[in-house]
Amino acid sequence: MLRTAAALLAGAAVLSACFTDRQNEGQRLYASHCASCHGEQGEGLRRLMPPLAGSDYLGKHRAELPCLIRRGQKGPIVVSGVTYDQVMPAHEDLTDSQITNLLNYVHNAWGNQGPKHTIREVSQLLEACQGSDGR
């Protein structure tokens, strides 16, 4: 009985570590792929790079966001009433799961309160943008 309890605890610890690592994946991806332009707190960079914190763009363009991350962005966009016209690089190396975790982090960081994306939803949206220019 003691061995069974120890085995269950060990198994729970392993599972807990897996879920904890995945839970923080969006934050880690943001720090490594996005923060240098959009700011550590999603504040943006003056009128050069749009903010993500408190951004109306996230809600208005929810269905476009997975493609925007995967394919990048060229041309002007309006975020919270301000026009930005800088190139956002593509992140084609990110998996559908990573894009999902990244979006869920952004949608719920810095006071944002957006609905969560599912991997299925993100995968379907990414399939729809194959061959497009990412806009």
Query: What pLDDT score does 8 carry?
Result: 54
Position 79 pLDDT exceeds 90: yes
**Secondary structure letter of residue 67 according to DSSP:** H
**Secondary structure letter of residue 73 according to DSSP:** B
pTM of the model: 0.79
Give φ, ψ of 77 to 5 degrees. -135, 155
E strands of 7-134, at which residues? 77-79, 82-84
Domains of the chain with bracketed CATH: 24-127 (1.10.760.10)
CA 32 to chain centre: 12
More confident residue, 69 or 114: 69
